[in-house]
Chain A
Amino acid sequence: MTATDVRLADEGSANTDLVRSEDALKARARQKAGGFKPKALIPILYIIFLLLPIYWLVNMSFKTNQEILSGATLIPNDPTLRNYQVIFNDPSWYMGYVDSLIYVLMNMVISVAVALPAAYAFSRYKFLGDKHLFFWLLTNRMAPPAVFALPFFQLYSAFGLIDTHIAVALAHCLFNVPLAVWILEGFMSGVPKEIDETAYIDGYSFPKFFFKIFTPLIASGIGVAAFFCFMFSWVELLLARTLTVTDAKPISAIMTRTVSASGLDWGVLAAAGALTIIPGAIVIWFVRNYIAKGFALGRV
């Protein structure tokens, strides 16, 4: 016991030494660079270029309409929260966010729930045409959504599903299920098949194995898949707008409403846009450590 303690203590001090030397290294590097590096200009410019529209949007959302129309100002002269008040006090505005979130979450749950068994089958079993089927799944993403808008509208009308959340959630499954299968398959193939077999040898039933042993191993994959489903469903406008009228209208469709007889309400539109970014940003925060792995589809 004492031996372990001593060893642990040793490791601890070694760690702090390491941190210290790392700090020293960085400090030296900074000194050597002499403050400003011309090389740093490139990423800085790039980031400014990327963030400018978003800054402009946020900037606008705190301005009055007169100021927006009167010319460019970097900081609002007369900051106002009126635009946000309009959105949060009008159900027809804020319900847009609620509707969007509802169908996006529904879609996430359906996509991942459907993709898990499919991905497991693709990663573990050989069956006739498995490779072709796997590729075919991905080809579903190749067609533009507009192609599917009309058949979906017709189909959902026939079943009385128009203007419901589930209609949009199901329509988005067309893109998201293949993607989720693709991502999860990569993560699942990274888990040795012998783990499955060991579990069977130990006597686990399949459901018990799947939820107790397997799911924790691909938890980050599930997170990444859910994130991608969220992202695509959240930004998709065309199908969501086609399939809804009033009850499940997504926020992006509602934003087009600001065009009225009195002209465009720029400030409210900007505020709505700024609010639309927030859920995505929150989700990204949670999965930021796995995103790179997700883009590699688990095959890292």
Chain B
Amino acid sequence: MLELKSVGKSVGGETHIRDVSLELTRGSLNVLLGPTLSGKTSLMRLMAGLDAPTSGTIVMDGKDVTGVPVRQRNVAMVYQQFINYPALTVYENIASPLRIQKRPKAEIDEKVRKAAALMKLTDFLDRTPLNLSGGQQQRTALARALVKDAELVLLDEPLANLDYKLREELREELPKLFAETGAIFVYATTEPHEALLLGGRTATLSEGRITQFGETAEVYREPRDIVTARTFSDPPLNILPVEKRDEEFHGREGLRFRASDGQRSLPDGSYKIGIRPHHLSFGTSEASDGLAHLDAVIAISEVTGSQSFIHADRGENRIVALVHGVRRVEPGDRIQLSFDPANCLVFGEDGQTAAAATRPLAA
């Protein structure tokens, strides 16, 4: 088990990691989710022991490893860039951690060939990494991390520089491959849907702080505050200021809708509602089934295959909707978007979640 106890890291007066406490259990899959510069890599470097924290302690299996350099820990790490030893062949690249551990030759050979087969590198073992494609280079790096039988496996956006198909494939296989080793598996990503696909537990990071840590689906469904919800939403979460009076929410530009069952008990006052883009759909003006309606003016529409992104303006607010089907709309068109209030996240003025979505949601 890896425990981080109020770990902090600042470099030259700049705080990279702020008071992070985490407990990662053996054999678990943990996702660090956050935008670029949110401190994912810094946090991983602290976990690995590449950097020493400026405050707090790091405990591995009950042993304080705070200042212990990376060489004396049993970790493996894969970077976003394809990092291999260019002067060595793929075989030697994969074998390198085992060679350092002075394992018997037969064992090294067996492990390397097994890892290479899993990563589909068997045909390339005699080449040097720079003669491989990007995907093969990254698989070499992953194979090296795999043979090591490390206690802690850190993957820092390992698939970000790969093409779409390879990414899908590897994303599916990776957790399985590493789960067998019983290691603590940490996976950093900027993409919310990648976190959801991986499952496991997710820690959302924002500005060097862990905003929430829990089961991935739970963090997605019930974010603790507005920052977590924002981090865990792609395309970005639509946030609208509203006022609750009795059983109704009143917003700007004539927005008005009835609170859902879960929201009714909230005291009157100012709130912010968060609407995920895929919960918005093209609506009809008949306010019938308890749906809320938004009037907006199209700014941009993008069609991506079977879905369309609609960017629309409401006063000074820009909202994004992800709707099914190909919609032919022109910038400047007036449209009406509707959403189910039960799908809204409601945040108080302080940013804390006042009422989570009451309906079980699909991702």
Contacts and interface: CB of A to CB of B under 8 A. Distances in A.
Q: Do A and B come from one complex?
A: yes
Interface of A: 4, 192, 194-195, 197-205, 208, 213, 216-217
Contacts of A205: 71
Contacts of A201: 48, 50, 70-71, 75-77
A211 to B, nearest CB: 11
A162 to B, nearest CB: 44
A102 to B, nearest CB: 32
Contact of A217 (B71, B77, B79, B87): B87
A192 B144 CA distance: 18
Contacts of A208: 100
B316 interface: no
A217 B75 CA distance: 25
B83 A202 contact: no
Contact of B50 (A195, A197, A204): A197
Interface size class of B (residues with CB under 8 A): 20 to 34
A192 B148 CA distance: 22
Interface string B78-113: 010101111110000000110011000000000000
Contacts of A4: 123
Contacts of B75: 201
Q: Which 9 A-B pairs have the closest CB atoms?
A: A216-B87, A203-B100, A202-B97, A194-B83, A200-B70, A194-B79, A198-B83, A213-B85, A201-B77
Given A4-B123, A202-B100, A203-B100, A195 B71 contact: no
Contact of A195 (B76, B83, B144): B83
Contacts of B141: 198
B78 to A, nearest CB: 9
Nearest to A191: B86
B70 A195 contact: no
User: Do most interface residues of chain A lie in helix, strand or loop, or is the interface mixed?
Assistant: helix
Nearest to A126: B12
Nearest to B88: A213
Contacts of B97: 202-203
Nearest to B48: A201
Interface of B: 48, 50, 69-71, 75-77, 79, 81, 83-88, 96-97, 100-101, 123, 141, 144, 148
Query: Which of A4, A194, A200, A204 has the largest count of B CB atoms less than 10 A from its CB?
Result: A194
Nearest to A195: B83
A217 B220 CA distance: 45
Given A195-B83, A217-B87, 4 more contacts: A194-B79, A200-B69, A200-B71, A213-B85
A133 to B, nearest CB: 19
B300 to A, nearest CB: 37
A202 B48 contact: no
Nearest to A216: B87
Contacts of B87: 213, 216-217
Nearest to B45: A197
A239 to B, nearest CB: 38
B77 A203 contact: no
A21 B71 CA distance: 54
A199 B81 contact: no
14 contacts: A192-B81, A195-B84, A197-B77, A198-B141, A199-B96, A200-B50, A200-B71, A201-B70, A201-B71, A201-B75, A201-B77, A203-B97, A203-B100, A204-B71
A210 to B, nearest CB: 12
B54 to A, nearest CB: 16
Nearest to B87: A216
B81 to A, nearest CB: 6
A20 B148 CA distance: 49
Contacts of B88: 213
Nearest to B73: A201
A201 B84 CA distance: 12
A204 B85 CA distance: 12
A200 B71 CA distance: 5
A195 B88 CA distance: 12
A35 to B, nearest CB: 42
A219 to B, nearest CB: 8
Contacts of B79: 194, 198
Contacts of A213: 85, 87-88
A208 B148 CA distance: 18
B76 A199 contact: no
Nearest to A199: B85
A201 B49 CA distance: 9
A217 B81 CA distance: 17
Contacts of A194: 79, 81, 83
A79 B79 CA distance: 68
B86 A197 contact: no
B4 to A, nearest CB: 19
